[in-house]
Homo-oligomer: A and B are copies of this chain.
Amino acid sequence: MKKTVLICAALISTAAFAQPKEDFKPNELNQPGQEYPMVNSEGYARFRIQAPNAQSVSVGLGLGGTHGGTDLQKGQDGFWTGTTSAPLDPGFHYYHITVDGGTFNDPGTNNYYGSVRWESGIEIPADDADFYAMKNVPHGKVQQVLFWSESTQSVKRAFVYTPPMYGKEKSKKAKYPVLYLQHGWGEDETAWTTQGHANLIMDNLIAEGKIQPFIIVMTYGMTNDAKFGTIGSFKTDAFERVLCDELVPYIEDNFNVYADRDHRAMAGLSMGGMETHAITLARPEMFSNFCLLSGGTYTPEELEGLSQKPSFVFVSCGSKEGPDRILSSAESLKNAGYNALGHVSEGTAHEFLTWRRALYTMAPYLFNK
Contact = CB atoms under 8 A, between A and B. Distances in A.
Interface of A: 31-33, 49-56, 78, 97, 99-105, 107, 110-111, 116-118, 134-136, 139, 141-148, 155, 167-168, 172, 193, 226-227, 254
A88 to B, nearest CB: 23
Number of copies: 2
Given A53-B56, A100-B53, A32 B105 contact: no
A33 B146 contact: no
A105 B118 CA distance: 10
A155 B139 contact: yes
B227 A52 contact: no
Contact of A102 (B51, B55, B147): B51
A339 B241 CA distance: 52
B56 A55 contact: no
A43 B118 CA distance: 26
A-B pairs, 4 with minimum CB distance: A51-B102, A139-B146, A53-B100, A33-B227
Contact of A54 (B54, B105, B110, B145): B54
A32 B116 contact: yes
Given A54-B54, A99-B104, A33 B116 contact: yes
A295 to B, nearest CB: 22
Contacts of A103: 50, 107
A47 B194 CA distance: 30
Nearest to A98: B51
Contacts of A155: 134-136, 139
